[in-house]
Amino acid sequence: MAESRVNSAEILGSDLHLELTRAGSRRTALTSALREAIRGGRLAPGTRLPPYRSLAADLGIARNTVADAYAELVAEGWLTARQGSGTRVAPRIAPPPPQRGGGRERGGPRAAAAPGTRRRRAAPAPRPTHHLLQGQPDASAFPRTAWLASARRALTAAPNEAFGPGDPHGRPELRRALADYLARARGVRTDPDRIVVCSGFAHALRLLSGTKVLRPALAVESYGLAFHRSLLSAAGVRTVPLPLDAHGARTEELASHPGLRPVRAALLTPAHQFPTGGPLHPERRAAAVDWARTSGGLVLEDDYDGEFRYDRQPVGAVQGLDPDRVLYLGSASKSLSPALRLGWMVLPDHLVDALLAAKGEREGWASALDQLTLADFIESGGYDRHVRRMRLRYRRRRDALVATLAERAPHIRVSGIAAGLHAVLELPPGTEQSAVQAASWQGLALDGLAGYRHPDATTPRWEGLVVGYATPPEHAFPAALDALCRALPPEQPPPKTGG
């Protein structure tokens, strides 16, 4: 009987030659052999791997060992696994071909053509091979197994009415879970009735723009997302830049600066200023709340990555200082995935009805099934475990970035605190544009700071690169760092002094 089982396994799938020569467990040896086969090109993107039974029979190892190795490589981004399609080598973009005729060094200008020769037209930049774009978590790290378990429990326990028209307030199960979690992890003071579920931060801004909360003008930090400013402008909300320095937004100017007098609300990123990376100084946190109290204004707290602080315990939310004057905004896009389209607003009592009216009678945005799943994921402890795991992974990524720069580009400084999913690399004056272009030619996608600056800002211009170190899957991060270092400007000589 045992022989027949082995023979039946041997005819499943295709042959795959692997040599398990690495020391350690059989699983370690198998994952290493598969990585090398993919990296070396023997297993091309899209190649379907043998089923667990077949490969286990061929190699003389346990099926669970093969299953665990496949699962590990799926999590790292080397493989993909879909129901009905089997396990395949993950697709990837081919690296750009080497440049002919000398190329460029560190993104500098192309060498001048020899006299009498015809200059060739510059070839178009290659498609990105490496991505260091901000705002994106490592998609390969999504907790699929734990999320699926929560989805099963949530669907089993869900009342029948959960499958009817949605409630604009959001599912009560999620609002209860969020109230408990935010109080425990972020110091937010609220109850479930003051939480309104939305489909993310941009959706929250659109809803707020439909009320009188942000009018006639909204103060925003002088560096921030242009997309948010465009969204507000399209909704008829004028944004006024608030000066920024190493201690965060200069909130004391909300009460004193003449240009800020029409402002009735201020949008801040206190835990980790986006994108420059500094926390809001305690005195300025207090100044923002004092301004809101005395003026009848409102502080909008964007806690976009407040859970990811690496050098100390995360600082609590500003909302805890005054729940009646601070509106807290959060989402799952950085901690879990932007694909979930789930966010939340923790509102002062007097704004709840206005926001519910702005949403309409029926919830047309956030899926009730996803809300139920997230509620279970939080209450079961899965969310905490995932955040702690990702906090460790992203801290290692940031440490690797800092260590690589110290070794290969010591003249480039990483600004801000050790937190979040991105870092800003400070560049010498006049080098940002050329560095972004050089990165493009290295097949590397990232942003410069210039695109984040408010067009009316009076803050001195900063030059730098916004590096999203969370974006690449684990196996692709070293190559992305190598491409980044090749794109950085060389150290500039000190200015000459007169003799």
Domain definitions of the chain by residue range: 2-89, 130-140+385-487, 144-380
Higher pLDDT, 26 or 146: 146
- What pLDDT, on the 0 to 100 scale, is given for residue 53? 84
The model's pLDDT over 258-291, given as tens digits with 9 standing for 90+, comes to: 778 788 999 999 999 999 999 999 999 999 999 9
**Contact by Cβ (8 Å): 271, 311:** no
Instruction: Tell me, yes or no, if the two domains 2-89 and 130-140+385-487 fold the same way.
Output: no
- What pLDDT, on the 0 to 100 scale, is given for residue 23? 67
Q: Does domain 2-89 fall into CATH 1.10.10.10?
A: yes
The helix or strand, by DSSP H or E, that contains position 379, with its residue range, turns out to be helix 368-379
Higher pLDDT, 239 or 128: 239
Q: Is the pLDDT of residue 117 over 90?
A: no
**Which contacts (CB < 8 Å, 24+ apart) does range 118-125 have?**
123/99, 125/440, 125/441
Q: 340: how many CB neighbours lie within 10 A of its CB?
A: 21
pLDDT band at residue 460 using 50, 70 and 90 as cut-offs: confident
Q: Is the pLDDT of residue 12 over 50?
A: no
Backbone angles phi, psi at 491, to 5 degrees: -65, 135
pLDDT band at residue 22 using 50, 70 and 90 as cut-offs: low
Q: Which of 78-87, 183-192, 400-409 has the lowest mean pLDDT?
A: 78-87
Backbone angles phi, psi at 330, to 5 degrees: -145, 170
**Contact by Cβ (8 Å): 168, 196:** yes
Q: Does domain 130-140+385-487 fall into CATH 3.90.1150.10?
A: yes
- What pLDDT, on the 0 to 100 scale, is given for residue 491? 78
CA 268/CA 289 separation, integer angstroms? 12
Q: Does domain 144-380 fall into CATH 3.10.28.10?
A: no
Joined tokens for residue 15: 């042959």
Cis amide bond preceding 216, omega within 30: yes
- What pLDDT, on the 0 to 100 scale, is given for residue 418? 92
